[in-house]
Amino acid sequence: MAKAASKLKKTVAKSKSSSLVRAKAAAPVAARKALTKSPAKPAPKAAKKPAVVKSPAKPAADVTKSGKWVFTFGDGKAEGKAGLRDLLGGKGANLAEMANLGLPVPPGFTIPTSVCTYFYAHDKSYPPALKAQVEKALDHVGKLTGKAFGDAKNPLLVSVRSGGRASMPGMMDTVLNLGLNDKTVEALAELSGDRRFAYDSYRRFITMYSDVVLGFEHHHFEDILDTFKDSQGYTLDTDLTGDDWVDLVGRYKDAVARETGKDFPQDPHAQLWGAIGAVFSSWMNARAVTYRRLHDIPESWGTAVNVQAMVFGNMGETSATGVAFTRNPSTGESKLYGEFLINAQGEDVVAGIRTPQDITEFARKESGSDKASMEVAMPEAFKELTKFYTLLEKHYRDMQDMEFTVEQGKLWMLQTRGGKRTAKAALRIAVELANEGLISKKEAVSRIDPASLDQLLHPTIDPGARRDIIATGLPASPGAASGEIVFSSDEAAKLQADGRKVILVRIETSPEDIHGMHAAEGILTTRGGMTSHAAVVARGMGKPCVSGCGSIRVDYGRGTMSIGTRTFKTGDVITIDGSLGQVLAGRMPMIEPAMSGEFGTLMGWADSFRRLGIRVNADTPEDARTAIKFGGEGIGLCRTEHMFFEETRIRTVREMILSEDEQSRRAALAKLLPMQRADFVELFEIMKGLPVTVRLLDPPLHEFLPHTQAEIEEVARAMNTDPRRLADRARDLAEFNPMLGFRGCRLAIAYPEIAEMQARAIFEAAVEAEKRTGKAVGLEVMVPLIATKAEFDLIKGRIDSTAQSVMKETGRKLAYQVGTMIELPRACLMAGEIAKTAEFFSFGTNDLTQTTYGISRDDAASFLGTYVAKGILEIDPFISVDRDGVGELVKIGVARGRKTRPGLKVGICGEHGGDPASVAFCHEIGLDYVSCSPYRVPIARLAAAQAALGKAVASQA
Ligand code: PEP
Ligand code: MG
């Protein structure tokens, strides 16, 4: 497949799961319910001084050597703090921190991650001292709340939640109201004066506990409830009376006994240990294990368990539960944002049965809701919330996502954590926090995930939309697009001319598909890797592309593509998500990219911190303009073979390649010269004196050879030769392994007149561009794929003598350098020799990866995925540079080259130039610049700044 383009590579952003924000409907989660009565001691009024959290985490080990297995919090104090996140998990550490700040946090305790580690190291048993420490902590919480765990008159009820260092879906869900049994439920009824509430709480507890601890699934209870409602003629849960819930609790318990063979546990202590065991066990459940693998979370981290006194948001009209963000997580606007539900608890909100209400009057007016905001309905609690959110944001110096419950008018804070946000919001928040003086500009720059900038540069699929994923391939070029399937480039161009939107689906693409790729909204190929023709060209065009999607079978004849039992035909609409490599059925709702003022501000700050130069791989005027727009500081790689993709030009290139003697080759070259010159003039003019590295032709011959009889006849006509003879010549030139064949400098060695023509076009264009712009072109002529100094020298000789001729003919002086790609292991090793004559190096890490691993860049897709899945490779080395092997060769090349020629200018221009982790590597080893595809320039600028600031940037694969 295509190398011409095939070469490129790069990185895509794995904008993993677009870290979006909780969608509106999914708002307040979690727990809220609670004490029948307020705690014995009122919680302290807010807030001590907003000390600032800076230093994270102390290793778990020190703290637990002491045998401390339980950390209490509440009543304005805590044994933990935010810095103990590794030990207490995010939730536990922040609950402790809020308690220390004097915020009203229902008292409780955290069993740390070290117990989880112990649990798995000791055959699922607990440290012997744990039990007594839990008992003591329960007593402590009991004292603070004026209740006792298991007490038949005034029972302490608790919630149990998991909470690791990193938030991790897949872990055990929350259990609320733990401690209820046939006796304590009566006490709850009596204390609250509301039997219906008490039994409703009990049945919720039985449901949750059975589901997450006993493995008796939720839907069984739904069935029982539905049958009961039908029998009574009820439609809503709210139709049920207290007696109805009593009746249902009996039915629920019977079902548990029948299905599990055991009565529902009545002993609160047994209930608690059951829930604690379920949390630790869930660390190893399949969902959690998969999530950890996908997100590089080590198994050794373990989870913590948080046990906390209940507070109830469902105790009537003065109670509520809600979720709030200190800033808008979608836009970043600095306004409290969130929702709440009166007389409700977590599951009600998640169930989406009722529409949540806005928290602020501002938001209510904006949404046009006729339901009272919290600001109006619960002014006191709202005032408190305002005080706390301001405090928390100052304290953590970041936007917070908080959960709260109002129990009979009193506000309780249940959770705070750094809020997830869109890329747009992240930028705005970082810039505004810096402008507010809460964080430094350096911190602002460090806080943005470079890969997430793709969200701002390309359309993305609405994160709230349901995805019908039909296949997954490689995330070859970011962004998303929907359109009708077309299987040929001509068809794509035709439909586009009629105003239709299409996705071009090909087994693979080649230079002849350029017009179809231009016309399409996005490109899907079933073969080819991250550096395939489709991937490289799409990235240059800024169009989404999914490549190497091997599970799809394309039948051009029938006009169908099938995946398993599903078949799609020409005209069917699909969507591709080039950031995730997904192919989806149907049209998806899109979010259009929007570059805000904050984008420019943050990029400006990033530029002030970075040392690496950022250039762009650009072959067309459009690429060059995009590069300038995104802040590219020059062209680091102009692949001249890409300039021949247009239909009329390919024909002439074919004439040149297929010529049997120098004379006919020169005739073809003479036709190409003016076209090349015109292209270069335009490119140089746009770049206005910035450096431009023009690489001599590096065509994988197979991409340029005519394939069909019609193509052969067409070229034969132009060359005035017999088509059969031409077909023979094409057959002679066909190679078994074109990527290691007659390409790169080998072509110019065999046919120096090609290099001469290109050099002439470059120099004549430089003269012309300088005349037009008044600025001398920063001209660098680059020789591809050399293995020896002799190859380089021979071609350099031709380039220099052509430059002399042009200078003589035009009477103008030209400044230029001749350098080389270093993209073969031998060139790295011989860099000291090569640098004697080469004036600059540019590492072609695409080919260097291919030749170091011995993995064909075009065929890698069929097995590299398996390598990554089996953990043999951490990441596709064509996406993120292999520091140990390929990187070592680059280091050797740099050191040997600079030893010979101190100050040798060195960059990279493989696709790795746009991968944040690879950019960091380039910074570390002292390269001068990276060159990447135009749409990755902002990502590279930010990654380079973060590297300079010392931030470890994980690749976003
Ligand atoms: C490379 O090999 O890294 C490179 C930039 O060249 P190409 O992709 O064009 O082979
Ligand atoms: Mg190369």
The domain that holds 551 is classified in CATH as 3.50.30.10
Pair 499, 565 in one domain? yes
Residue 223 lies in a domain: no
Q: 858 CA to middle of ligand 2, Å? A: 12
Q: Tell me the angle at which helices 789-810 and 752-773 cross, rounded to the nearest 10 degrees.
A: 50
- Which atom of ligand 1 lies nearest, measured to the CA of 845? 3
- Which atom of ligand 1 lies nearest, measured to the CA of 641? 9
Pair 530, 557 in one domain? yes
Pair 286, 332 in one domain? no
Q: Which helix (H) or strand (E) holds 69?
A: none
Domain final position from 571, 591, 611: 591
**Per-residue pLDDT, 646:** 73
**717-756 CB burial, b ≥16 within 10 A, e <16:** eebebebeebbebbeebeeeebbbbbbbbbbbbebbebbb
**Per-residue pLDDT, 29:** 25
Residues 828 and 893 sit within 8 Å (Cβ to Cβ): yes
Q: 797 CA to middle of ligand 1, Å? A: 23
Pair 487, 382 in one domain? no
Ligand in closest contact with the CA of 531: 1
Domain final position from 591, 617, 648: 591
Closest Cα to atom 8, ligand 1: which residue?
7
Residue 270 lies in a domain: no
- Under DSSP, the state recorded for 643 is G
- Which atom of ligand 1 lies nearest, measured to the CA of 5? 9
Which residue range is the domain that position 585 belongs to?
460-591
Closest Cα to atom 7, ligand 1: which residue?
7
Pair 174, 297 in one domain? yes
- Cα 287 to Cα 317: distance, rounded to the nearest angstrom: 38
Q: Which helix (H) or strand (E) holds 570?
A: none
Residue 106 lies in a domain: yes
- Which atom of ligand 1 lies nearest, measured to the CA of 7? 8
Amino acid letter at 306? N
Closest Cα to atom 10, ligand 1: which residue?
7
Closest Cα to atom 4, ligand 1: which residue?
844
Residues 501 and 518 sit within 8 Å (Cβ to Cβ): no
Q: Phi and psi at residue 877, in whole multiples of 5°?
A: -70, -10
**Catalytic-role residue among 533, 642, 702, 912:** 533
pLDDT < 50 positions in the chain: 1-63, 952-957
Amino acid letter at 591? I
Mutation probe of ligand 1 site: the residue of 7, 642, 929 with most atoms within 8 A of C-beta: 7
Q: 836 CA to middle of ligand 1, Å? A: 23
Model confidence pLDDT, tens digit, residues 353-385 = 567 889 999 989 988 888 899 999 999 999 999
CATH code, domain carrying 342? 3.30.470.20
Number of domains in the chain: 3
Pair 484, 380 in one domain? no
Ligand in closest contact with the CA of 932: 1
- Under DSSP, the state recorded for 486 is E
699: its two tokens: 């065509």
Q: 177 CA to middle of ligand 2, Å? A: 63
- Count of C-beta atoms within a 10 Å radius of residue 158: 31
Closest Cα to atom 9, ligand 1: which residue?
7
Residue 547 lies in a domain: yes
Pair 415, 480 in one domain? no
Ligand in closest contact with the CA of 842: 1
Query: What residues pair up with 469 in beta bridges, in sequence order?
Result: 584
Q: 536 CA to middle of ligand 1, Å? A: 10
- Residue bearing tokens 């995946």: 563
Q: 8 CA to middle of ligand 1, Å? A: 5
- Which atom of ligand 1 lies nearest, measured to the CA of 846? 3
Ligand in closest contact with the CA of 641: 1
Residue 455 lies in a domain: no
CATH code, domain carrying 74? 3.30.1490.20
Give 705: exposed, middle or buried? Use CB within 10 Å, 0-12, 13-18, 19+.
buried
The 3-state DSSP class for residue 576 equals strand
- Cα 418 to Cα 421: distance, rounded to the nearest angstrom: 9
Q: 744 CA to middle of ligand 1, Å? A: 10
Residue 942 lies in a domain: no
Ligand in closest contact with the CA of 846: 1
Q: 785 CA to middle of ligand 2, Å? A: 6
- Which atom of ligand 1 lies nearest, measured to the CA of 823? 2
- Under DSSP, the state recorded for 173 is P
482: its two tokens: 């929907």
Verify whether residue 828 is a known catalytic residue: no
**394-418 CB burial, b ≥16 within 10 A, e <16:** bbbbbbbbbbbbbbbebbbbbbbbe
- Cα 543 to Cα 537: distance, rounded to the nearest angstrom: 9
Pair 470, 358 in one domain? no
Mutation probe of ligand 1 site: the residue of 637, 785, 858 with most atoms within 8 A of C-beta: 637
Query: What residues pair up with 817 in beta bridges, in sequence order?
Result: 780
Query: What residues pair up with 782 in beta bridges, in sequence order?
Result: 695, 819
Q: Phi and psi at residue 678, in whole multiples of 5°?
A: -60, -40
Pair 521, 578 in one domain? yes
Verify whether residue 909 is a known catalytic residue: yes
* 587 Cβ contact list (under 8 Å, min separation 6): 482, 573, 575
- Cα 804 to Cα 479: distance, rounded to the nearest angstrom: 46
- Which atom of ligand 1 lies nearest, measured to the CA of 4? 9
**Per-residue pLDDT, 8:** 29
- Cα 220 to Cα 226: distance, rounded to the nearest angstrom: 10
pTM comes to 0.81
- Count of C-beta atoms within a 10 Å radius of residue 308: 27
Pair 387, 485 in one domain? no
579: its two tokens: 């950031």
- Cα 365 to Cα 376: distance, rounded to the nearest angstrom: 12
CA angle 797, 800, 804 (to 5 degrees): 135
Model confidence pLDDT, tens digit, residues 581-633 = 999 999 999 987 766 789 999 999 999 999 999 999 999 898 999 899 899 99
- Cα 882 to Cα 873: distance, rounded to the nearest angstrom: 9
- Cα 752 to Cα 662: distance, rounded to the nearest angstrom: 10
Q: 954 CA to middle of ligand 1, Å? A: 24
Residue 354 lies in a domain: yes
Residues 516 and 492 sit within 8 Å (Cβ to Cβ): yes
Residues 187 and 147 sit within 8 Å (Cβ to Cβ): no
Which of 385, 390, 393, 387 is closest to 411 using CA atoms?
385
Mutation probe of ligand 1 site: the residue of 643, 698, 858, 889 with most atoms within 8 A of C-beta: 698
Mutation probe of ligand 1 site: the residue of 821, 828, 843, 930 with most atoms within 8 A of C-beta: 821
- Cα 798 to Cα 805: distance, rounded to the nearest angstrom: 11
Pair 475, 545 in one domain? yes
Residues 579 and 436 sit within 8 Å (Cβ to Cβ): no
Ligand in closest contact with the CA of 8: 1
Residue 666 lies in a domain: no
Q: 452 CA to middle of ligand 1, Å? A: 25
**Catalytic-role residue among 909, 912, 923, 932:** 909
Query: What residues pair up with 358 in beta bridges, in sequence order?
Result: 339
893: its two tokens: 């090349």
Q: 8 CA to middle of ligand 2, Å? A: 8
Closest Cα to atom 1, ligand 1: which residue?
844
- Range list of H helices, 210-267: 218-232, 242-260
Enumerate residues lining ligand 1, CB below 6 A. 7-8, 637, 639, 698, 823, 844-847, 909-910
Pair 157, 79 in one domain? yes
Mutation probe of ligand 1 site: the residue of 6, 11, 739, 847 with most atoms within 8 A of C-beta: 847
